[in-house]
C-alpha cells in the first residue's frame, strides 16, 4: 500500500515531532485568558495545530480547550481522539522528563506513550492517507484534548460546540480493541481532627501522592518524638521485616519519615507500590493512642492498605465482562483541622457508583469519616463485539500482528472513547509490553512509534471506506 511506504518515509519527522511535543511540559496549570488549563497545555495544543496546518489539514482551535485537524469528503466523520496533557512527572527519572532524549532507540519523557507519541503517530498516519490520494467516503478528524488527565473539561467543551464524529477510536490504552471500560469515580475520605492525645509520638503532618489517578510513589510524615533512638530502631526492624523503602531524617525532637513506592496508573494499582500504604502500615506499628488521626490510620490499615479491589471497605465488586473493581488511594494530606484521603475507583461495567458509595459508607459507619463525592463520574463504556467499528479495528490488528486468537477486551482505564457513542480505544500498548504510563522513565521505542503509525494508517483507511 502506498500510504505505508509514505509512513516509512516520514520516520525522521515522526521522531522529531514526538521529541518536540514531549519537550512541552503540559501538566495542568493556572488558567489564563484563552489558556483554560494553563500555558503548558495550550502550548502543546498550539504545536499540534501548527504541525497539522503545515501538513495541509483544516484546523480549528476551540478557545484553548481543544482543537482539531481534518481532511476528506463525505457526510460521515471518522474521529481520532487524542490528548496532549500529561500527569506530573514525579521523581527518580534517569533522564530529564521533558528533554525527550533518545537512548537505545527509545525516546524518554513524560507523555511519550501517554499520549503524545501515539498522537503524533496518528497525525502522520493521516498525512500518509491524504498524500496517497486514496478516495475517501468519509471525513477524517483528529481531535486534540488538553485536560484528559484532570477532568475532561476539553471534551465537554468540544462536544458542546461541535458535532460528534459518527465513529471514533482513541490510541490511549491497549491492543487489540478496548470495547469496554469500567466506570470511574474519585472521592475523598475526610476525618475532622478534633481529639489530639498522642503520647510518646505525635503526628504533626502527613503528605503523599501526586495525583488521584496515580499510584503514589512518595509519602512524607513529620513527627514529634520523645525517644528518637527507639523510633529509629523500630523503623529499621520494620524495613528489615517488610523490605519497604522507608527512611528517616532527624532534627532534634522532630523527625521526618519518607516512604518511597513505585508509581503506576490508577487503573492498575497492583502494578505499583503504594507509598501511602507503606507509610500507614509503619505508623500503625508505632502509634497506640485514641486520637482522631491515629484512628484514621487504624481504619486505613484494616480496610484499605495493600487491597487493590476494595474488598475490605465494602466495594469488592466484579463481573464477567470487566472483572474486579480497582481501588487506588492516590493522595493524602493533613491540615490543622482534618485529614483527607483522595481515592480513585474503577468499578465494573455491571456495577454502579451508588453501590460503591453505599458499600463504603456502610463500612465506615461510626468512624466519623465522611465520604465526599466528586461530581465528575465517568459512566462505563460498552460497545458490542459485533459492532462494525470493533470488527474493522480487530481486522487491522490481526493482519498486523498475526494474532488471530485475541478478542476485544475491557479495562479499568478511562479513555476519551466514553465521551461519545460508538467509540473504542485501540492501542498503543501491545499485549506483553510493560505499562509505562504515569511512571518514571516513561518511553516509547522508535520501532513501536513507527509500528503505530502504520497500524493507525491502516485503521483510518479501513474505517473511511
Assess whether pLDDT exceeds 80 at residue 199: no
Residues 59/47, Cβ–Cβ less than 8 Å = no
Looking at the chain, the whole-number percentage of residues with pLDDT higher than 90 is 86
Q: Are the CB atoms for 313 and 303 separated by under 8 Å?
A: yes
Identify whether the C-beta of residue 115 lies closer than 8 Å to the C-beta of residue 429: no
Do the Cβ atoms of 225 and 253 come closer than 8 Å? yes
Q: Is the pLDDT of residue 93 over 90?
A: yes
Give pLDDT, residue 251.
83
Q: Residue for cell digits 476485544?
A: 408
Give the Å distances, CA to CA, from 298 to 91, 93, 282, 283, 304. Answer: 29, 33, 11, 9, 10
Cα 333 from chain centre: 21
**Residues ≥6 apart with Cβ < 8 Å to 185:** 344, 345, 347, 353, 356, 357, 373, 374, 377, 378
Q: What is the rounded average pLDDT of the residues 372-381?
A: 90
Mean pLDDT of 261-272: 92
From the list 85, 115, 166, 181, the catalytic residue is 85
pLDDT at residue number 162: 97
Residue tagged active-site, from 70, 89, 115, 148: 148
Nearest Cα to 223, choosing from 277, 278, 282? Answer: 282
Contact 173, 429 (CB under 8 A): yes
**Contacts for 36-40 with beta carbons within 8 Å, 24 or more apart?**
36/63, 36/64, 36/65, 36/147, 36/153, 36/157, 37/64, 37/65, 37/85, 37/146, 37/147, 37/150, 37/153, 37/154, 40/85
**pLDDT above 90: residue 265:** no
Cα–Cα distance between 274 and 257 in angstroms, integer? 15
Q: Which three cell numbers stand for residue 312?
A: 475490605
Element (H, E) at 117: helix 116-131
pLDDT tens by residue, 393-403? 999 999 999 99
What's the mean pLDDT in 37-51? 98
The closest alpha carbon to 246, from 232, 233, 235, 237, belongs to 235
- Cell 510493560 -> residue: 434
d(CA 19, CA 39): 19
6, containing H or E segment: helix 2-9
Q: In the prediction, which pLDDT does 196 show?
A: 61
- How far is it, in rounded angstroms, from Cα 459 to Cα 393? 6
Hunting for cell 502527613 — which residue is that? 206
**CA pair distance 83, 415, nearest whole angstrom:** 10
How many Å apart are CA 120 and CA 15, to the nearest integer? Answer: 9
State pLDDT tens for residues 123-135: 999 999 999 999 8
Query: Given a cut of 80, is residue 425 above it in pLDDT?
Result: yes
Q: Report the C-alpha gap between 54 and 69 in whole angstroms.
A: 11
- Three-state DSSP at 432 gives coil
pLDDT at 375 > cutoff 90? no
* 337 a catalytic residue: no
Q: What is the mean pLDDT of the chain?
A: 95
Q: For cell 484563552, name the residue.
A: 34
Which residues contact residue 228 at a Cβ distance below 8 angstroms, ignoring those fewer than 6 apart? 250, 253, 255
pLDDT of 256 over the 90 cut: yes
DSSP string, 315-351: ---EETTTEE-EEEEEEEEE-SSEEEEEEEEEE-TTS
- Lowest mean pLDDT across 21-35, 72-86, 248-262, 298-312: 248-262
Q: Catalytic residue at 12?
A: no
Are β-strands 409-411 and 178-181 bridged in parallel, bridged antiparallel, or unpaired? parallel
pLDDT at residue 197, as a whole number: 61
Burial 231-268 (b: 16+ CB within 10 A, else e): beeebeebeeeeebebebeeeeeebebbbbbbbbbbbb
Report all structural domains of the chain as residue ranges with CATH numbers, in order of start.
Answer: 2-181+380-463 (3.40.630.10), 184-373 (3.30.70.360)
Mean pLDDT of 434-459: 95
In 232-335, where do the E strands start and end? 245-251, 254-260, 318-319, 323-324, 326-334
Q: pTM, whole model, 2 decimals? A: 0.78
Helix, strand, coil percent content, the chain, rounded in steps of 5? 30, 30, 40
What value does the mean pLDDT take over residues 31-40? Answer: 97
Amino acid at each position: 500500500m502506498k500510504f505505508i511506504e509514505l509512513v516509512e518515509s516520514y520516520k525522521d519527522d515522526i521522531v522529531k515531532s514526538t521529541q518536540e511535543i514531549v519537550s512541552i511540559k503540559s501538566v495542568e496549570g493556572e488558567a489564563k485568558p484563552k489558556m483554560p488549563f494553563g500555558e503548558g497545555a495550550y502550548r502543546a495544543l498550539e504545536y499540534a495545530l501548527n504541525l497539522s496546518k503545515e501538513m495541509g489539514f483544516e484546523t480549528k482551535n476551540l478557545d484553548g480547550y481543544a482543537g482539531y485537524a481534518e481532511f476528506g469528503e463525505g457526510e460521515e466523520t471518522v474521529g481520532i481522539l487524542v490528548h496532549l496533557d500529561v500527569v506530573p512527572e514525579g521523581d527518580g527519572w534517569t533522564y530529564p522528563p521533558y528533554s525527550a532524549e533518545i537512548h537505545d532507540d527509545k525516546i524518554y519523557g513524560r507523555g511519550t506513550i501517554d499520549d503524545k507519541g501515539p498522537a503524533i503517530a496518528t497525525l502522520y498516519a493521516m498525512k500518509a492517507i491524504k498524500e496517497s490520494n486514496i478516495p475517501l467516503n468519509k471525513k477524517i478528524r483528529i481531535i486534540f484534548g488538553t485536560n484528559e488527565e484532570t477532568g475532561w473539561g476539553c471534551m465537554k467543551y468540544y462536544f458542546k460546540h461541535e458535532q460528534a464524529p459518527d465513529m471514533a477510536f482513541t490510541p490511549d490504552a491497549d491492543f487489540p480493541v478496548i470495547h469496554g471500560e469500567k466506570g470511574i469515580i474519585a472521592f475523598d475520605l475526610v476525618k475532622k481532627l478534633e481529639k489530639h492525645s498522642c503520647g510518646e509520638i505525635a503526628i504533626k503532618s502527613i503528605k503523599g501522592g501526586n495525583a488521584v489517578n496515580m499510584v503514589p510513589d512518595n509519602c512524607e510524615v513529620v513527627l514529634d518524638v520523645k525517644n528518637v533512638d527507639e523510633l529509629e530502631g523500630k523503623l529499621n526492624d520494620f524495613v528489615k521485616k517488610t523490605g519497604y523503602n522507608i527512611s528517616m531524617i532527624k532534627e532534634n525532637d522532630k523527625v521526618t519519615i519518607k516512604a518511597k513506592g513505585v508509581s503506576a496508573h490508577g487503573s492498575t494499582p497492583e502494578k505499583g507500590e503504594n507509598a501511602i500504604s507503606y507509610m500507614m502500615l509503619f505508623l500503625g506499628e508505632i502509634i497506640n493512642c485514641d486520637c482522631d488521626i491515629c484512628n484514621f490510620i487504624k481504619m486505613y490499615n484494616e480496610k484499605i492498605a495493600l487491597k487493590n479491589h476494595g474488598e475490605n471497605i465494602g466495594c469488592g465488586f466484579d463481573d464477567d465482562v470487566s472483572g474486579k473493581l480497582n481501588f487506588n488511594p492516590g493522595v493524602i494530606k493533613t491540615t490543622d483541622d482534618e485529614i483527607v484521603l483522595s481515592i480513585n475507583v474503577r468499578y465494573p461495567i455491571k456495577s454502579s457508583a451508588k453501590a460503591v458509595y453505599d458499600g463504603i459508607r456502610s463500612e465506615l459507619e461510626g468512624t466519623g469519616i465522611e465520604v465526599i463525592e466528586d461530581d465528575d463520574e465517568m459512566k462505563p463504556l460498552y460497545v458490542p463485539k459485533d459492532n462494525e467499528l470493533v470488527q474493522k479495528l480487530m481486522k487491522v490488528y490481526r493482519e498486523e500482528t498475526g494474532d488471530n486468537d485475541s478478542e476485544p477486551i475491557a479495562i479499568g482505564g478511562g479513555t476519551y472513547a466514553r465521551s461519545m457513542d460508538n467509540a473504542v480505544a485501540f492501542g498503543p500498548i501491545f499485549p506483553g509490553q510493560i505499562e509505562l504510563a504515569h511512571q518514571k522513565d516513561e518511553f516509547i521505542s522508535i520501532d513501536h512509534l513507527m509500528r503505530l503509525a502504520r497500524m493507525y494508517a491502516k485503521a483510518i483507511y479501513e474505517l473511511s471506506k
